[in-house]
Amino acid sequence: MLSKIKENIIFKGRFSLFFTILSTYLVFCFAIRIVFLVWSFNDLEFDIIKILRAFFTGFLFDLFSGLSFLAIYLLYIFLLPKRWIGSLFDKGFTYFYTAIILLIIYFSLLAEIPFWDEFGVRFNFIAVDYLIYTYEVVENINQSYPLPLIIGVLIGLIVISFLGLIKFKIFKNTFSDKSSFGKRFKIAFPIIVLLSIFSFILKNKQADFSNNLVINELGKNGTFSFISAYHSNELDYETFYPKMTDKEAYSVLKPNLLQENQKYTNTIPDDISRLTSGKNEQKPNIILVAIESFSADFLKAFGNTENLTPNYDKLTQESIFFTNLYATGTRTVRGMEALTLSVPPTPGNSIVRRPDNENLFSIATILRQKNYHPYFIYGGDGYFDNMNTFFGGQGFDIVDRDRGNPLSDQIKTKRFPIKDSEVSFENAWGICDEDIYRQSLKFADQNYQQKQPFFQFVMTTSNHKPYTFPNGKIDLPQGERNGAVKYTDYALGKFIAQAKTKPWFKNTVFLIVADHCASSAGKWEINIAKHHIPAIIYNVKNQTPQKIDRLVSQIDLMPTLFGYLNWNYKTSLYGKDINQTKPGSERAFIGNYRTLGLLRNNLFTQIDDRKRVKQFTVSGTDRSLSEVNFKNEDLIKETISYYQTASERFKNGKMKSK
């Protein structure tokens, strides 16, 4: 009899709308999971037990998310007095809530598709960051996808859902059943208890049980992952990661930091200041070009046959060419952090985006010692990702579109807005590469006239979705990655050609490097091959072209450039001059927000926020990983020492420039 009452209330009564929407959500989540499995099948580790576990874990996350969406409505139908059921108020509230919830559900599910397409994962901290920068994100969506169609699809889905709810009498059942409070309690209370239990026991990291990224991400729910990322946007190393005492960490770190032409300035255990010696210093102008999403895979030198980068390919033959270089992360702010602070990627947010990040020991500290005028030149609004505050806080003058938030009054720097009259083409992320290079040439001309040596950090944007650029420049269409890559290369070639006509060119060195790869998705949690980037140092005086095949980290590029210029300087950077690094001690740092690793030779040591330590052998051109049973304890200690001390130094203000 009791089961009959429950059946009537659930399927034909007051709770019919609640369970119909919940069931619909679960079905769509399952369908999305199937789509992602098929979509990423090539990167999937086909283990049926792990796949089934991922689907079961995912179902629990889906159920919790669905119940959370409907929690307010559950309390409403549970607590609303019996005499009000079916009233005008009841109908108005129910229709309104249903429309809003369906909009949120359908939008969240549809939004997961382009996010998976771009990043190969569920919503994470990137999605949280994007929520802050609504202008860029909305414009990017509008330029990348037919926004009216998306809105139309959402409205259509809601209308179809309402028609279905009406046709199958779900609304009618909801409004006509005037069950007593006691009967409703028997349904609502167990659901409330289940929701409460889920809120305490479910953690997003429970889905990370495999070494295969696809399996882990299949076991997640986009909405749950988004909320988890929001709550853990910054991760404290000491709380979440394997560690040793600070004394031991520094005792392991300091011998590894020291290169052959350096000595420590003192014997203080946690002071990493070193004196770097050189002879016959050169002080040319320096232009560092960070190219958006410029994977090594795009270059002819690494097997690409589509002739996407003829200008960069030509420059590799005339430059110091780094062939075994790895980016520290998967986002622009990570590349900026690596190139300016020369530090391993600390967990959580990049230091570029964190508070209290001004006046850190950076390349700007060293450049100021040499009387350089540093610029940060960016074609978008530099408030995005906190870039202006970070670079301004290190003493860079800012060149950007200047349509965002003003810099803090505490940051003493100049800001030079890019005028509309100086822009020939612009999309959501900024002006085209040709326009940003014109800004570089303009400020180089000004500094040359003032007889002031300059350093420029130029950040490009054209090789970013929506992949749009000026017409008539290349022979590939708009809106596709290959076209954006080829245009980026075209603009670079034009920039170098124009620079060669300038009187300052003969005394200017160019470091041209990617900020990160075009994609990081793949089989493993960290896909080493998806961090492989190119870099060249071009136009060093009296330096013949050469290839550097030794393993190099992105944090080593600027110290290596300083080495080619024979600079004497004091440093607290973690990066090393590769030419002053003992053979066999080369290493690269690779991270992805939560998981951090150190690559040395063919062994990759990985630590994560569950205090796990794993080691993998690395093999093949795809840099495939195979977990090993043995543990190289020395490499584990070295890995922990780098990441632990870097986190500790920033947290406790030890990175500040003195």
Candidates 338, 247, 336, 248; CA nearest to 292 is 336
Coil, strand, or helix at residue 199? helix
Full set of structural domains in the chain with CATH? 2-231 (no CATH), 240-651 (3.40.720.10)
Cα–Cα distance between 636 and 527 in angstroms, integer?
19
Given a contact cutoff of 8 angstroms between Cβ atoms, the answer to whether 440 and 496 are in contact is no
CB neighbour list of residue 146: distance below 8 Å, 6 or more residues apart: none
Largest CA distance in the chain: 95
What is the model's pLDDT at position 452?
A: 93
Across the chain, mean pLDDT equals 93
Phi, psi of 436 (to 5 degrees): -70, -35
What is the model's pLDDT at position 141?
A: 75
Average pLDDT over residues 25-43: 96
Average pLDDT over residues 434-463: 97
**In 152-282, at which residue ranges do the beta strands (DSSP E only) sit?**
262-264, 274-276
Structure tokens at 616: 């993998």
What is the model's pLDDT at position 409?
A: 59
What is the model's pLDDT at position 486?
A: 98
Instruction: Report how far apart, in Å, the C-alpha atoms of 100 and of each of 38, 496, 574 are.
Output: 31, 53, 50
What is the model's pLDDT at position 132?
A: 63
Coil, strand, or helix at residue 127? helix
Listed range (71-75, 201-205, 288-292, 523-527) with the worst mean pLDDT: 523-527
What whole-number percentage of the chain has pLDDT above 90?
A: 82
Cα–Cα distance between 199 and 71 in angstroms, integer?
12
Average pLDDT over residues 197-218: 93
What is the model's pLDDT at position 10?
A: 60
Given a contact cutoff of 8 angstroms between Cβ atoms, the answer to whether 306 and 295 are in contact is no
Answering whether pTM is above 0.85, one says yes
In the predicted structure, residue 95 carries a pLDDT above the cut 70: yes
User: Sign of the C-alpha dihedral, residues 551, 553, 559, 565?
Assistant: positive
**Pairing assessment for the beta strands 603-607 and 596-600 based on DSSP bridges:** antiparallel
Average pLDDT over residues 13-21: 95
Cα–Cα distance between 115 and 101 in angstroms, integer?
21
Question: Within its chain, how far is the Cα of 600 from the centroid?
Answer: 23
Which 8-state DSSP code applies to residue 301?
G
Quickly state the pLDDT bin for 138 (edges 50, 70, 90).
confident
Cα–Cα distance between 331 and 39 in angstroms, integer?
23
Structure tokens at 225: 């992952």
Quickly state the pLDDT bin for 515 (edges 50, 70, 90).
very high
Give per-residue pLDDT as tens, 334-343: 999 999 999 9
Q: What's the one-letter identity of residue 617?
A: T
What is the model's pLDDT at position 8?
A: 55
Beta-bridge partner residues of 459: 290, 378
What whole-number percentage of the chain has pLDDT above 70?
A: 96
Instruction: Report how far apart, in Å, the C-alpha atoms of 635 and of each of 254, 555, 595, 599, 602 are.
Output: 14, 19, 16, 9, 12
Cα–Cα distance between 338 and 341 in angstroms, integer?
6
Quickly state the pLDDT bin for 525 (edges 50, 70, 90).
confident
Quickly state the pLDDT bin for 5 (edges 50, 70, 90).
very low
Quickly state the pLDDT bin for 400 (edges 50, 70, 90).
very high
Instruction: List for the chain the helix, strand, coil content (%; round to 5).
Output: 50, 15, 35
In the predicted structure, residue 11 carries a pLDDT above the cut 90: no
Cα–Cα distance between 87 and 262 in angstroms, integer?
81
In the predicted structure, residue 295 carries a pLDDT above the cut 80: yes
